[in-house]
Amino acid sequence: MDLLLVEDKDSFRRLLSQALEGTVWKVMAVADPQAALRALEERPFHVLVTDLRLPGMSGLELIRRARRLHPGLRVVLMSAFGEPKDIVEAMRLGADDFLPKPFDLDAFLALLDRLRALVGAPPPDPAEPWTAHSPAMQALDVALRQAAASTLPVLFRGPRGCGRERCARRLHVLRHPVAPYLSLPASTLGAEGPDPRLLQLLEGGSLFLPGLEHLSPAAAGALARAMDSGPGSRLAWMGSVEAGAQLPPEIAQRLGALELRVPALGERREDLLALARQLLDQVAKREGRPVPWLERSAERQLLEHDWPGNVRELEVLVGRTLLFSDSPAIRTFTDLGLGLEAPLCLPWPEAGGLEGMLKTIARSAEGKLLQRALALTAGDLPRAAETLGLTVRTLAQRLREHGISLEDRSSTSVSPKGEPGGDSPQFRKAP
């Protein structure tokens, strides 16, 4: 973990640097905020720890500029002179905590441990849209709120692409929105199970295991032991399986205490238009273009389609339509069957040396190819890995490097067909 320390007093800067020696933190310590900005422009850091009063620039201004360079940067502000208005402003700018000087080094290290967990497993955005206009989704929302009042493990069951991971994020936010959260595909687990260090990192947070039907017998036994371990008892467990899939007995005993059934998109007609507008907004903003509106003809087309797929299919449709449209309004979805291949579209790299630009293009293309493989296999990680000639673990690592979610993720170039069916949401006590 890389930490940037900005403190103009030499003795205190040395003290904090020495306190972090031998820990997981690789510290770059500077006295000048301009030097800190130059360092942030050269490479990313996981955490910024800065004093409030600095030569030539306040710590607040440094935080503002640093977060502009790296929006996901975790920040700690420290000061012996911090006034309430400074603390409020720091939090508004995205600071995670404030340390009044002088402070205990143990408290400093404990704070960094918490930030390390949030860097490694950032909590979901509590403002992420949640659409529940249909009776089926309203019933699911009630079930999620009931589940949030307990610490029992939760299993989400439903057809592929219906939004099981979105439900897991929703449950985490309802339970403890600022705690760490990690999605770890069950197919990536080996006979040793989840890393105990990972479980310690997630203490107080949640671990979601999608695709539990892909667990090998050895991995199922190791997972059961991990859930019963000390670190495993201090986090919330969630998992998902497809409709009709069976869990290994030892996992069913531990993860089936509460089962929530996620409805298929075909059962959510009242949610269709709201979901389509949300996806249009997300895709347009990601592409840096104005958000188009849906005309009545396009709305009618969505409502009349039989939707054999799921939310993932809707996302593919929206992305494809936006790709081939330059109009401020969407009048029709011309390829609702999603049977055509869209061209591979890559952004231009920043101007520079040819080798550097080619590397940038290659990395961008790799991300698109990974998304396409997931789309072609309807999000089935083992099948996608097989088609790409990779191991499941290698594919999962590549997806993480590109910031691609490992479940309920679609490509805008190929339609991943979902599966019909699915049950209405309900609680079920484990036998």
* DSSP per-residue string spanning 345-376: --PPPPSS-HHHHHHHHHHHHHHHHHHHHHHH
Is there a single domain that holds both residue 80 and residue 167? no
Is there a single domain that holds both residue 141 and residue 253? yes
Residue 148: C-alpha distances to residues 31, 126, 265 (Å):
45, 14, 24
Sequence-distant (≥ 6) Cβ neighbours of residue 18 within 8 angstroms = none
- DSSP assignment of 225-269 equals HHHHSTGGGGSEEEEEEETT----HHHHHHH-SEEEEPPPGGG-G
**Rounded-to-integer distance, Cα 236 and Cα 206, Å:** 5
Is there a single domain that holds both residue 144 and residue 105? no
**Rounded-to-integer distance, Cα 264 and Cα 270, Å:** 12
| Residue 29: how many other CB atoms lie within 10 Å | 18
Q: Domain range spanning residue 37?
A: 2-120
> What pLDDT, on a 0 to 100 scale, did the predictor assign at position 406?
60
> What pLDDT, on a 0 to 100 scale, did the predictor assign at position 405?
66
Strand duo 236-242 + 26-30: pairing = unpaired
- Residue 157 domain flag: yes
| Residue 231: how many other CB atoms lie within 10 Å | 18
Residue 273: C-alpha distances to residues 127, 153, 198, 269 (Å):
19, 33, 39, 8
- Residue 130 domain flag: no
- Residue 314 domain flag: no
Is the four-CA dihedral 250, 255, 259, 264 of positive or negative sign? negative
Q: What confidence category does residue 256 fall into, taking pLDDT thresholds of 50, 70 and 90?
A: confident
Residue 86's domain is classified under what CATH number? 3.40.50.2300
Domain boundary among the residues 264, 296, 323 is at: 264
**Rounded-to-integer distance, Cα 114 and Cα 208, Å:** 19
Is there a single domain that holds both residue 115 and residue 166? no
Is there a single domain that holds both residue 80 and residue 170? no
- Residue 310 domain flag: no
> What pLDDT, on a 0 to 100 scale, did the predictor assign at position 415?
32
Is there a single domain that holds both residue 139 and residue 107? no
Q: Give percent of the chain above pLDDT 70.
A: 90
CB 154 within 8 A of CB 258: yes
Residue 151's domain is classified under what CATH number? 3.40.50.300
**Count of structural domains, the chain:** 2
- Residue 58 domain flag: yes
| Residue 81: how many other CB atoms lie within 10 Å | 10
Domain boundary among the residues 87, 120, 153 is at: 120
**Rounded-to-integer distance, Cα 426 and Cα 417, Å:** 25
**Rounded-to-integer distance, Cα 46 and Cα 11, Å:** 24
Mean model confidence pLDDT for the chain: 85
pLDDT digits (tens, 9 = 90+) for 156-173: 999 988 999 999 999 999
Is there a single domain that holds both residue 109 and residue 150? no
In the numeric block, the tokens 């991990």 are attached to 226
> What pLDDT, on a 0 to 100 scale, did the predictor assign at position 222?
95
Q: In 109-145, which positions are buried (b, 16+ CB within 10 angstroms) versus exposed (e)?
A: eebbebbbbbbebebbeeeeebbbebebbebbbebbe
pTM > 0.75: no
- Residue 226 domain flag: yes
Is there a single domain that holds both residue 43 and residue 9? yes
Is there a single domain that holds both residue 140 and residue 98? no
CB 203 within 8 A of CB 145: no
Is there a single domain that holds both residue 77 and residue 148? no
Is there a single domain that holds both residue 76 and residue 111? yes
Domain boundary among the residues 264, 289, 322 is at: 264
> What pLDDT, on a 0 to 100 scale, did the predictor assign at position 174?
96
Residue 29: C-alpha distances to residues 51, 165, 232, 331 (Å):
12, 39, 36, 56
- Residue 72 domain flag: yes
What is the rounded average pLDDT of the residues 324-350?
70
- Residue 15 domain flag: yes
ω into 102 cis (within 30 of 0): yes
| Residue 426: how many other CB atoms lie within 10 Å | 11
Is there a single domain that holds both residue 139 and residue 116? no
Q: Answer whether residue 90 shows pLDDT above 90.
A: no
